């Protein structure tokens, strides 16, 4: 499975749980941290957890487990690290506060239709 296919599966899993304002940033263009960030907003902390649980379920079906998980306790920002792809799901307030898109403004935004 290519990293682009992984990213598409993650995007679809977020979309299935009504994640909002889903962005894909090509971090690999400016950093060696990973290839892509997938960033999404959830309407509540409960939805943050539901979205990340769905991402994990869909990736597990493909035999892929996250290398790391952060934020399950607070549930206002959960990070799933799949190596080449990092998934960030925020509640609305946390997304506005951390503003990863501005922090990584030199990295190009990717349209989901151009992947896999």
**What pLDDT, in 10s, does the model give residues 3-55?**
999 999 999 999 999 999 999 999 999 999 999 999 999 999 999 999 999 99
CATH 3.40.50.300 at 3-110, yes or no: no
Q: What is the pLDDT of residue 20?
A: 97
Phi, psi of 72 (to 5 degrees): -65, -25
Q: C-alpha distances in angstroms, 63 versus 25, 33, 56, 106?
A: 24, 22, 10, 33
Nearest CA to 25 out of 110, 82, 84 is that of 110
Nearest CA to 14 out of 65, 52, 68 is that of 52
Q: Containing H/E element for 15?
A: helix 3-16
Q: What is the pLDDT of residue 72?
A: 77
> pLDDT for 64-77, tens place per residue?
999 999 997 888 99
In this prediction the pTM is 0.94
Q: What is the pLDDT of residue 74?
A: 80
Nearest CA to 95 out of 43, 36, 24, 55 is that of 43
Q: For residue 116, is pLDDT > 80? A: no
């Amino acid at each position: 499975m290519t990293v682009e296919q992984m990213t598409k599966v993650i995007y679809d899993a977020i979309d299935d749980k009504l994640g909002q304002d889903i962005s894909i940033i090509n971090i690999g263009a400016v950093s060696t941290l990973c290839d892509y960030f997938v960033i999404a907003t959830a309407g509540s902390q409960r939805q943050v957890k539901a979205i990340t649980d769905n991402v994990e379920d869909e990736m597990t079906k493909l035999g892929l487990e996250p290398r790391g998980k952060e934020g399950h306790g607070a549930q206002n920002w959960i990070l799933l690290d799949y190596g080449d792809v990092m998934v960030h799901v925020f509640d609305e307030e946390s997304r506005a506060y951390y503003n990863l898109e501005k922090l990584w403004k030199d990295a190009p935004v990717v349209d989901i239709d151009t992947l896999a």
